[in-house]
């Protein structure tokens, strides 16, 4: 995969067996982040707490993915999908994410997400899917990608 412009190039691999875990309040502000989340995203845990979870939002992710995510979790269901996230240093990391509610007395009091590594083929599949979605939304895809 090759980008025409040179930003957002450096990939960080999530090590096998590691879980990136976070929780947010109902507004999507981070209330808990584990050490692995901090390490992989390039932030410290202290920097992440209290920030909107879009702090790691990568410009390659189509808006519709997060619209769907929020609709799904608000309906008490679990959202699952591949996510490309932005590191503090401008690099990126891919994950498989499951996002759902944290329940107390049958009510959602917070949201939680657990993320695991994905394969190169899965990254390629997701990148193509998201580029395709962005291409259809006028003005969203701002660059050309060459897949290898």
What residue ranges bind ligand FMN (CB under 6 A)? 22, 24, 28, 53-54, 56-57, 61, 66, 69, 83, 85, 99, 111-113
User: Which residue of the chain is nearest ligand FMN when measured via CB?
Assistant: 54
b vs e for 27-54, b when ≥16 Cβ sit within 10 Å of the residue's Cβ? eeebeebbeebbbbbbbeeeebeeeebe
Q: How far is the CB of 83 from ligand FMN (least distance, A)?
A: 5
CB 110 within 8 A of CB 24: yes
| Nearest distance, CB of residue 148 and ligand FMN, angstroms | 25
Please state the closest distance from residue 90 (CB atom) to ligand FMN, in A: 15
Residue (64 or 148) nearer to ligand FMN, CB: 64
Q: How many beta carbons lie within 10 A of that of residue 104, not counting itself? A: 9
């Amino acid at each position: 995969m090759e980008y025409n412009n040179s930003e957002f190039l450096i990939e960080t691999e999530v090590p096998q067996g590691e879980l990136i875990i976070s929780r947010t309040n109902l507004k999507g502000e981070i209330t808990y982040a584990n050490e692995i989340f901090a390490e992989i995203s390039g932030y410290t845990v202290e920097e992440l707490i209290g920030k909107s979870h879009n702090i790691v939002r990568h410009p390659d992710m189509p808006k519709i993915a997060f619209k769907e995510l929020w609709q799904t979790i608000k309906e008490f269901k679990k959202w699952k999908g591949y996510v490309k996230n932005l590191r503090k240093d401008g690099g990126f990391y891919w994950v498989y994410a499951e996002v759902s509610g944290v329940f107390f007395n049958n009510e959602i009091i917070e949201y939680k997400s657990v993320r695991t590594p994905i394969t190169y083929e899965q990254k390629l599949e997701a990148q193509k899917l998201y580029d395709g979605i962005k291409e259809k939304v006028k003005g969203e895809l701002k660059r050309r990608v060459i897949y290898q």
